[in-house]
Each structure stands twice: as structure tokens, then as C-alpha cells.
A and B are shown apart, each in its own frame.
Chain A
Amino acid sequence: MNRSFIARNPSVLIFLAILALFTLVVTVLSEGFGVGLISTSFVKVLGKTLCLCLIAIAMDLIWGYTGILSLGHFAFFGLGGYMIGMWLMYERTRLIVVNSLSEGVLPPTPEEITAGIGNQIFGVVGSSDFPLIWAFADSLVLQLTFVVLVPGLLALVFGWLAFRSRVTGVYLSILTQAMTLGLSLYLFQNASGLRGNNGLSGLQNLPGVTAPQSVVSLWFFWASALALGLGYLLIAWVVSGKFGSVIRGIRDNEARVRFLGYSVETYKLVVFTLTACIAGIAGALYYPQAGIINPAEVAPIASIYLAVWVAIGGRGRLYGAVIGTAFVSLVSSWFTGGQAPDVPLGFYTVKWVDWWLFLLGLSFVLVTLYAPNGIGGLIDLLKRKPRETDV
């Protein structure tokens, strides 16, 4: 009865095997390391999709398992992106500045270098001084720590305030929307120190790396696959034992869990913070593949899409979140990328770029009404064995 975690959860192994196989196939078909059937830009699309799957399983942990409909997790995703983006932009600019200054007669002073970098980065917002939050941008190690620390800290403070006051249900969802809206509006200001609406750009270039994008894109693809695999393993483990029992109990009847002696608020805070950290990591892997991050990325709608993906895939089963996210985001990039053929109806031409959102909204409504378990529910139907107890 006391079997190992993997033995009790065969679906985890199946998922990891499929992910490994997928990674291998993409690598073999890629331009960087394989036969070149898959373009570099599509490798990036796939890599970004893996990052979205990672934040989606985090969303499933907080929503599907714990019952907290957070509509703000893209704030943490975006913060992760900004944290790594700062180092990427700083370091690359520094190399460029040092390079161009070294053509002079005298070796450049550190002040000249700093001023040069500042001009390059903050020229667009009419400034050249480094804001305080860039103090550690020259350290990869510190910025990587911030990828986890900054979203985690924001979640900890926000969650502590919200859960302690027993804000639940739709009020909590609205509060998380307000949080991500607030962050977005703040970042839009030039005074935020993160280049306002320009955001951070050129993130696809790794400082000091001469390898072509076809190769770099695969590095990030692999890193994303690894992060998704580890994240899946971690979350599957978290929900498998007694901790999983308690958070599912909180989802189904939090008062009852309290009277069992569990501090519901603490559990919620732990899950909220953990998922925020995972979202931060996902964002830090996503934006170097996207190349650019700006405040629009953390607009409230982004977090709503996240909930839609998880709902379409099916809540409370991690593979459901992965399937829903991969399916919807790939179909979405097909429709909005102009690849989908327009449908001429004579009197009107259906342009998918405009109509895709309508289609997505409609399928969300249909799933909510007719298939509350989403795509994952179909897999449950196939899995269901005839019941022996009904003799």
C-alpha cells in the first residue's frame, strides 16, 4: 500500500516519456542540430509553448487543486521575464559599448562604460541614469535569483494580505486582476525604470555567445522542456500525498479543513507563492525566446487566457493543463499568424485574425457548459475500466 510516488502515479512517467520523445523529435527535425524540417522560428514557438504549459500546470495547482481562481499569475510570469531581461540587455549592451570604446586611444574608464550603457538602454525614455532597480543587473546569478525571489515575494505579501482577511471566490479573482493591472500600469510609466512601454528588447541574443539563433533556440527549447518536466514532477509530487489531500479539501470545503486543525490560510499562501515562483521561472525562459517583453504582457487579459487554457484542457489533472495550453496556444498562433485561410462567404469574408478570439470565447463557453472536465475529461472516459464493485 505504501508504494512509491511514481508507482502510484503512472501518468507522470507517461507524460515525461512523451515530453522526452517530443524534445528528441523536434531536435532531429530542427535547423540547428537536425535535418532542417522545422524552422528556427517554429522551434521558438514550440519552446514558448512549453513555457506556457509550465505556468499552466502552476495554474492548475492553484486553481484546479486548491480551488483559488487566481487571475493574476501572468504578473509573476512577466516579472520573471523582466528579471532575466535586465541582465540580458545590460550585459549585451555592455559588451557592445566596451567594444566600441576600445577603438579609442585610451582604455575607457568604468564611468565612461556605465554612461555608455545607460545611454544605450535608457535613451528611448529620455534618460541615461541607471534606476536603482538595475543595481544588480550586471550579475547573472543575482538576476536569476530574482527570477524566483521577486515573484515569490510579491505573491507572499499579496497572498498574506488577501488570505488573512479571508477573501475568497470571485472577490479574490478580482483582487488578483487588480494586482496584475496595477503592475502593468506601473511598468508602462517611464519612471518605473524598466523603459516604460518600450519594455526590454533584444533578449534573444545571449551576451558573448556567437552561436547562431538556430542553435540558441534549441538550447532554450531544451531548457524549457527540462523546466516543464521538473515542474510537472514537482507539482505531481506535491498533489499526490497528504498535502494534496489537504489542498483538495480546501477546494471542496475549506471550513471543514479548518476544523480538522489545518491552518487553511497558510496552505493557500504556500501554494500561491510556490506557483508564483514557478510562473517566474516559466517567464524567464519564455521571453528570451520571444525576444521582447513589455508591460502589455502582464495586462489582465493574459491571466484570463491562462484560466481559459486550463479550463479547456480540464482542471485538476496536470496533463489536462498541458494539453489545453499546447492546443489552444498553437491553434491560436496558427489563426492569428495569418496562416489560416480566410473564408469568403460572398457577402462577408471571415478573417481569422479577427474571428479567432470569438471562436476561443465560444469554445470556452461550450466547455464550461457541456464538458466541465475539458479535453482531459475525454481521456478519463477512455481510461475508465468497468467497475468490479457493481456486481
Chain B
Amino acid sequence: MNTLLEVSGVTVSFDGFRAINNLSFQIADAELRAVIGPNGAGKTTFMDIVTGKTRPDTGHILWGDKSLSLIGMSEAKIAQAGIGRKFQKPTVFEEQTVQENLMMALRKDRASLAVLFFKPSTSDFERVEDLAEEIGLGEALLRVSGELSHGQKQWLEIGMLLAQEPQLLLVDEPAAGMTPAEREKTTAILVEAAKTRAVVVVEHDMEFVRRLNCKVTVLHEGAVLAEGSLDHVTKNQDVIDVYLGR
């Protein structure tokens, strides 16, 4: 498999505090990966760096077949290059309908003039309906998304990511605050999504990670502590000491 994203030797400090410390990390095409680690391990900061929100002090981030360097690119450009991101807190546009949220995310020309004169075609509407169906919001298309339940908002946000058709999806704690049934559905959506693209999931919940059934990376103090199958990393003494054994 080809490497899709390669992070090497990345360091980020906030006022002298090293949130990310010489981190190296690789992800292949159409790979599902779970990232776990204690609070403050740098999981969210890692996503901030890849998506252009935070600029690293040192290191390289290379993307895609052409090994494009992502450092210095704007958030919008990185998103257009094919990296989608779901935030820790569900962030959908609450005053807009499910349909409007999805339509905005749909992979299309993002230039302001093109957007101004954009008229959704029948196939665009169909695509939005299919997506809504996929995330279990087929009946809620015209509802204002602020009225949705917490779990539904999380799914809507995942649906918006799918609408972007990214090659890499970064998902920060998708199951937080969900009921067991909702978690199961979320797992199914993510596993399905990972069939056609790379997905990186940050999650604290071990049961959830187990169900994803994929390679796991353990972060600690801004660096990779262990990597491998869930059974492999959970047997690692360092991991037990800093994370599981609390």
C-alpha cells in the first residue's frame, strides 16, 4: 500500500511546553487507524497540525502520491487537497437545515463566484439524500440541525465529511456522549467509510476501539509510545503504566 500521509520529526511547543515531541506517523491509502492516549497526549494537536490550524516548529508533513508538503498551506487549501476533519465537539451549523449543511460540504468548486452562482442539480439533491440516509438522517433533511440530538449532530458532521469526499478523514472522539446503540452505528459508518479512504479515529473508549478492529497508535506526551494491534499495545508495559493502569 502507498503512504498517504507521512509525518516525520514534528515538534510543536506552546510557550515552551512541548505538546508534540518529535512525532513521526504514517498512514496508508484506505487504512483505518485508531489513535489513543491519555488526556493531553497531543492527539487533537496532531490533527491541528495536519489540517493547518497549528504550524509545527520543526518537521515535515508530506501528502499524497506527489509528496506535497502541507506545512504553510492554509486550512482551506489542505481541506481542498482531500483532508477532512471532525472536531471533538460536534460542530455543525445549527441554524441551518441538515440539507443545507450537507450541500455546503458537498465536493464542488469552493471559489466564491462559483458558489454565488451555484444551483444544485437534481443529482446534487440525490447525493445529499443518499448521504443523509447513510448517516440515519434521511427523515430529517429539512430539520434545522440545532434541533437534532447530540448523536445525530455527530453523525451529521461525519456525513458532511463524507460529502467532502476526502482521501483522509481525521475524526476526533466521535463516540463521546453517545448511547451504546449510537456508538455501534458510528462504528459501522466509520468502518464503511474506511473501505474507500483512510480514516484516523481518536478515541478514549477501549470498547469502541476494539470494535473498529484496526491498527492502533498510542500517543503519550506528544510522541508515539506503541503501535500495533489492540491486543499487542494493551500488553505493552509502558502503555499499561501511562494509560491503562490508571
Contact = CB atoms under 8 A, between A and B. Distances in A.
Chain A interface main SS type: helix
Contacts of A259: 51, 75, 79, 84-85
B76 A258 contact: yes
Contacts of B118: 241-243
A243 B93 contact: no
Interface in B98-120: 100, 103-105, 110-112, 115-116, 118-120
Nearest to B99: A1
A262 interface: yes
Given A243-B112, A245-B100, A262-B76, A252 B119 contact: no
A312 B74 CA distance: 38
B53 A255 contact: yes
Contact of A264 (B76, B84, B91, B116): B76
Contacts of B103: 242, 245
A245 B104 CA distance: 7
A243 B115 contact: yes
Given A241-B118, A241-B119, A267 B112 contact: yes
A266 B79 contact: no
A264 B76 CA distance: 8
Interface in A248-295: 248-249, 252-253, 255-256, 258-264, 266-267, 270
A263 to B, nearest CB: 4
Given A248-B93, A266-B112, A260 B79 contact: yes
B105 A260 contact: yes
Interface residues of A, number: 25
A246 B76 contact: no
A252 B75 contact: no
Interface string A223-251: 00000000000000010011101101100
A246 B115 contact: yes
A264 to B, nearest CB: 7
Interface in B119-160: 119-122, 125, 143, 160
B116 A248 contact: no
Contact of B91 (A238, A256, A263): A256
A2 interface: yes
Contact of A246 (B104, B121, B122, B164): B104
A290 B236 CA distance: 81
A261 B93 contact: no
Contacts of A242: 103-104, 115, 118, 120
A260 B104 contact: yes
Interface string B65-80: 0000000001110011
Nearest to A5: B119
A262 B105 CA distance: 10
Interface range, B side: 20 to 34
Contacts, number: 76
Nearest to A267: B112
Q: With a 10 A CB-CB cut-off, give which of B115, B125, B164 has the most chain A CB atoms.
A: B115
Contact of A270 (B95, B96, B112): B112
A252 B96 CA distance: 10
A198 B182 CA distance: 70
Contacts of A261: 76, 79-80, 110, 164
A249 B96 contact: yes
B221 to A, nearest CB: 26
Contacts of B95: 248, 252
Contacts of B76: 258, 261-264
A252 B116 contact: no
Nearest to A264: B76
A248 B110 contact: no
Contacts of A262: 76, 110, 115
Contacts of B112: 243, 263, 266-267, 270
Contacts of B75: 255, 258-259
Contact of A243 (B80, B94, B116, B120): B116
B87 interface: yes
Interface centre among B79, B93, B105, by most A CB within 10 Å? B93
A238 B115 CA distance: 10
A65 to B, nearest CB: 11
B96 A245 contact: yes
B93 A249 contact: yes
Contacts of B160: 260
A-B pairs, 6 with minimum CB distance: A261-B79, A258-B75, A261-B80, A263-B76, A243-B116, A245-B104
Given A249-B93, A263-B110, A270-B112, 15 more contacts: A2-B121, A2-B125, A242-B104, A243-B115, A245-B93, A245-B103, A248-B93, A248-B96, A249-B96, A249-B104, A255-B75, A260-B110, A261-B76, A262-B110, A263-B112
Interface of B: 51, 53, 74-76, 79-80, 84-85, 87, 91, 93-96, 100, 103-105, 110-112, 115-116, 118-122, 125, 143, 160, 164
18 contacts: A2-B120, A2-B125, A243-B115, A245-B103, A246-B104, A252-B95, A253-B91, A256-B87, A258-B79, A259-B79, A259-B85, A260-B160, A261-B76, A262-B76, A263-B76, A263-B112, A267-B112, A389-B143
